[in-house]
Copies of this chain bind each other. A is one copy, B any other.
Amino acid sequence: MRPSKLGDAEIEYSMTAIKGWTRAGNSITKTFAFAKFLDGIAWIGKVAAAAERMDHHPDLDIRYTKVTATLSTHSAGGLTRSDFDLAKEMDALA
């Protein structure tokens, strides 16, 4: 079952459980910095496997040693529990 869109109060509460993420309307975003270019790429490989397993795919912008992730649930038209689950997984893998 697809998760449903969260309300503002639920989003604010969920934001307290993740660190370094910023909310921008219907998405949350964070820039991850790595020591080396290939460290960021290796992290993306692990994130991609997790994303595929969760069937929830992050937007990822690679800029040398920095990778900016943006999460949103397009099918729900906003933020859902899946976004926060994936954010936690990305943090754990970094």
Q: Please give me the 6 A-B residue pairs with the lowest Cβ-Cβ distance, nearest first.
A: A41-B48, A60-B62, A61-B61, A57-B64, A37-B57, A59-B63
Q: How distant is the Cα of A94 from the Cα of B48 in the complex, in angstroms?
A: 18
Q: Are B41 and A37 in contact (CB under 8 A)?
A: no
Q: Give the number of times this chain occurs in the complex, counting copies.
A: 2
User: How many residues of A sit at the interface, in one of the four size bands?
Assistant: 10 to 19
Residues in B neighbouring A44, C-beta threshold 8 A? 41, 44, 62
Q: Are B64 and A61 in contact (CB under 8 A)?
A: no
Q: With both chains docked as a complex, state the minimum distance between the C-beta of A3 and any C-beta of chain B, in angstroms.
A: 18
Interface residues of A in 48-71 (CB under 8 A from B): 48-49, 51-52, 57-64
A61 is contacted by which of B37, B38, B41, B59 (Cβ under 8 Å)? B59
